[in-house]
Amino acid sequence: MSKSLEVVLPTENGLHARPATKFVEMASRFSSDICISKDGTSVSGKSVIEILTLAAEYGSKLLISAEGEDEEEAVEALVKLVEKSFQE
Partner 1 sequence: MEIKKGIPVSPGFVVRDAFVLDSEEVRIPQRFIEPDEVPGEIEKFEKALSYACEEIEGLRDQAAKSVGPEYGAIFDFHKAILEDKQLKKEVEARIKNNKFTAEYAVSRALRKQAKSLGSVENPFFSQRVDDIYDIEKRILRSLIGQRRESIKELQNEVIVIARDLSPSQTATLEKTKVVGFATDAGGRTSHTAIVARALGIPAVVGLGAITSDVSGGDVVIVDGTNGLVIISPDERTLKKYRTLESDFKDFQKKLAILFDKTAETIDGYRLKLMANIEFPEEVDSALSAGADGVGLYRTEFLFSDHSTPDEDAQFRAYREALKKMGDRPVVIRTFDLGADKAPGDIGLMRESNPFLGCRSIRYSLLHIDLFKVQLRAMLRASPFGNLRIMLPMISSVDEVRRTKVLLSDVMEELREQSIAFNPDIEVGVMIEVPSAALTVDILAREVDFLSIGTNDLIQYSLAVDRVNERVADLYQPVHPAILRLLREIIQTGKSHGIDIAMCGEMSAEVIYTILLLGMGLDVLSVTPVNIPEVKKVIRSVTMKEARETADIVMHLSDAKSAESFLRARAHKIVPWLA
Binding site for partner 1 (CB under 8 A): 13-14, 16-18, 20-21, 24-25, 28, 44, 46-50, 52-53, 55, 57
Q: How far is the CB of 49 from partner 1 (least distance, A)?
A: 5
* Residue with Cβ nearer partner 1 (3 or 16): 16
Edge-to-edge strand list for the sheet holding 61-67: 3-8, 61-67, 33-38, 41-44
* Residue with Cβ nearer partner 1 (52 or 63): 52
**87 and 81 in contact (C-beta within 8 Å)?**
no
